[in-house]
Chains A and B, each alone.
Chain A
Amino acid sequence: MKINKNIAISDTGFVFNPLNGESYSINPIGIEIINMMKEDKSFEDITHTMLTKYTVEDATFEKDYFDFIGILKHHNLIDTNEQA
């Protein structure tokens, strides 16, 4: 699962989609996840990193991760063609 190539993401969490002109803001944990996705890290790798760094349980993070991915898809920020 990859973030669309033409999406511009700043370090502070400002997101711009040039295809439709929409912009978004993402919180720091969201940026971390997106940056790891850009580095082609797997869900398992991302989970491991987050559980090591933050006070969160496995189940909570998994639920929040897939909820976040769902919203990224909803906003057409994920390249669905590259999905497995």
Chain B
Amino acid sequence: MEKLRYERPVIKKLEAGMPNKFGLRTEYTPMTHIDGVAVKDLVKDYGSPLYVISETTIRSTINKAKKAFTTRYPKVQFAWSYKTNYLNAVCNVFHQEGSWAEVVSGFEYEKALRNGVDGKKIIFNGPDKSEADLRKAIENESLIHIDHLDELYTILEITETIDKRPKVAIRVNMDTGTYPVWDRFGFNYENGQAWDALNKIMRSGKLELVGLHCHIGTFMLAASAYAIAAGKLADLAIGIEQKYNHCIKYIDMGGGFASKNTLKGSYLPGSDTNPTFDDFAEAITTALINSNFKNNELPTLILETGRALIDEAGYLIGSVIANKRTSLGKRTTIIDVGVNLLFTAFWYEHKMTPAQPFTHYTETSQVFGPLCMNIDVIRENIDLPLLNKGDQVVISTIGAYNMTQWMQFITLRPNIVMIDTEEKVHLVRENEKLESITDLEKMPEHLKKFDL
């Protein structure tokens, strides 16, 4: 006789009438497959933990975003935010979909070049651009977004020794009615820093001012803030035209669109409450179209959205290491995914779904990672079906930042696979070996031997 699936015995106190702050149970069906590929097979072939990226979801998401903007505005260009996920395979899916590259360091700039992106279609943001980085960007006619006056002066110095006219924009920070105001990137709009920088650029005669850029925040939950920012950038652009008879080519609204994740402390899931691409597009394009640009002089709208384009395409499969209880009797489950691999667990309540069948019985649990660190908490409180040691869970909406801000800490980083649009699995980054780490170390001669 075939044995039945085991579920650990559980007793739960019934608290009739007590509202649950953490909401009702959300998981009704197991996530046995990702894009048609069995989770069990993925773990068998590539191990656990395992990052899984859905190419289908990336393509459908970028097309959803493009549709939201291009149906409202005549000239739209997306630029893939490398820092959000700079795996070459991911970048190239976006490049195939027509996105330029948006980079914030010399390292990312090189990555974009190696991926085959034309230098003219690389936007170079960030506060740290070395003289060599800037020189290369000028040679390649990339779009340099100036963050501070020191950078502006370095570019002006370089123009003395190079026969190119750098294409530049300034980064503008401003009050968009949200808190906190992001005022660390670029030049402030309200106190006149932005105009000061623009005047220096225009009067130098050595630089080509091609655009204006802003990056007003991250995980923005108010689309209206973008309308304010777009309006202020439009005012600057129109002011430049009036003062210098110079039309800028683009307005770059940066990134910061919220994904469908749920921030800690939220009562309702992000998938129900966060603004959609249509909400952001409506706010931005309405502000630009309603500004005083002449109808045939609307600048190109550039968007550097990262998180909202890739978060939903990423999954992290983990396995249950153990179940135990805290001193107060609370259920805790330890899985092999720690905050070293899921950095975003610090601020999101990530959705976790068992990958095997389960009954309707649940326990309110804390989920810990495998690190020997108190901070290694994946979920503080989650109503989870009863998981056994060795069971798999799929953590959803993890595609943004976790594969760039991850830490090689205590354990090695695992494989990353991409499932293509025909349900074929491709290894896109190999798991680290001990040598991946130790090969970079050097041992001083006098420390090579010891006796214990």
Interface residues of A (CB under 8 A from B): 15, 22-30, 33, 50, 52-56, 60-61, 63-65, 67-68, 70-72, 74-75, 77
Contacts and interface: CB of A to CB of B under 8 A. Distances in A.
B12 interface: yes
Interface string B384-400: 00101100000000000
Interface of B: 3-14, 323, 325, 329, 359, 361, 386, 388-389
A54 B11 contact: no
Nearest to B12: A25
B13 A26 contact: no
A30 B388 contact: no
Nearest to A65: B9
Contact of B14 (A23, A29, A33, A72): A23
B6 A55 contact: yes
A33 B6 CA distance: 13
A25 B420 CA distance: 44
Given A29-B8, A53-B4, A70-B329, 6 more contacts: A23-B13, A25-B11, A27-B361, A56-B388, A60-B6, A75-B11
A68 B325 CA distance: 11
A76 to B, nearest CB: 12
B325 A67 contact: yes
A46 to B, nearest CB: 10
Nearest to B2: A55
A55 B2 CA distance: 9
B7 A29 contact: yes
Q: Which of A23, A29, A33 has the most CB of B within 10 A?
A: A29
Contact of A24 (B4, B8, B12, B386): B12
A27 B388 contact: no
Given A27-B386, A60-B389, A72 B11 contact: yes
Contacts of B388: 56, 60
Contacts of B13: 22-24, 75
Contact of A27 (B4, B10, B329, B389): B10
A61 to B, nearest CB: 8
25 contacts: A24-B11, A26-B9, A26-B11, A27-B9, A27-B10, A27-B361, A29-B8, A29-B9, A30-B9, A30-B10, A33-B9, A50-B6, A53-B3, A53-B4, A54-B4, A54-B6, A55-B4, A55-B5, A56-B6, A60-B6, A65-B9, A67-B8, A68-B10, A70-B325, A75-B11
B321 to A, nearest CB: 13
A54 B1 CA distance: 10
A75 B329 CA distance: 11
A24 B14 CA distance: 5
A30 B323 CA distance: 17
Nearest to B362: A27
A36 B209 CA distance: 81
A30 B11 contact: yes
B14 A25 contact: yes
B329 A74 contact: yes
Contacts of B386: 27
Contacts of A52: 3
A73 to B, nearest CB: 11
B6 A71 contact: no
Contacts of B14: 22-25
Which of B5, B13, B389 lies at the interface centre, i.e. has the most chain A CB atoms within 10 A of its CB?
B13
Contact of A68 (B11, B359, B389): B11
Contact of B10 (A22, A26, A56, A70): A26
Most buried by B among A53, A65, A71: A71
A60 B386 CA distance: 13
Q: 7 tightest CB-CB pairs across the interface, nearest first?
A: A30-B9, A56-B6, A54-B6, A64-B8, A68-B9, A27-B361, A55-B3
A65 B323 CA distance: 13
A30 B3 CA distance: 17
Nearest to A52: B3
Contacts of B359: 27-28
Contacts of B6: 29, 50, 54-56, 60-61
Contacts of B325: 67, 70
A25 B362 CA distance: 11
A29 B359 CA distance: 11
A71 B325 CA distance: 10
A22 to B, nearest CB: 6
Contact of A64 (B5, B9, B329, B361): B9
Contacts of B3: 52-55
Nearest to A67: B325
Contacts of A60: 6, 8, 388-389
A54 B8 contact: no
